[in-house]
Amino acid sequence: MRTNKAEIEPDIYRSAWNLIRAHGKKAEREAAKLQEAMIALGDERAVSFMWSIHKAIKELRRTKRQDHEPLN
């Protein structure tokens, strides 16, 4: 049985890439604005989704490996 996180992860990364393509360096800021809009609407599920997208944008844009990550 698949977990809920595994099912939506491709959507999260796809959405993150779309924001990066559309907004470039301002993609994180745009994701935060969208998350604030979802908070104002009271949509908890959308807030969580936007938080995940924001986190994915940060992951996709980073250039250095973290100390605890294996090389390959």
| pLDDT band per the 50, 70, 90 thresholds, residue 33 | very high
Global pTM? 0.75
| For range 1-5, the mean pLDDT | 44
Q: With a cut of 50, say whether residue 7 has pLDDT above it.
A: no
**pLDDT at position 62, please?**
85
Q: Are 47 and 35 in contact (CB under 8 A)?
A: yes
Lookup result for tokens 């604005």: 33
Give me the residue spans of the domains in the chain. Answer: 4-61
Q: Do residues 13 and 57 touch, judged by C-beta distance below 8 A?
A: no
Please name the helix (run of DSSP H) or strand (run of DSSP E) that holds residue 19, with its range, or none: helix 4-23
Predicted local distance difference test score (pLDDT) of residue 43 = 92
Q: Which two tokens stand for residue 66?
A: 């973290």
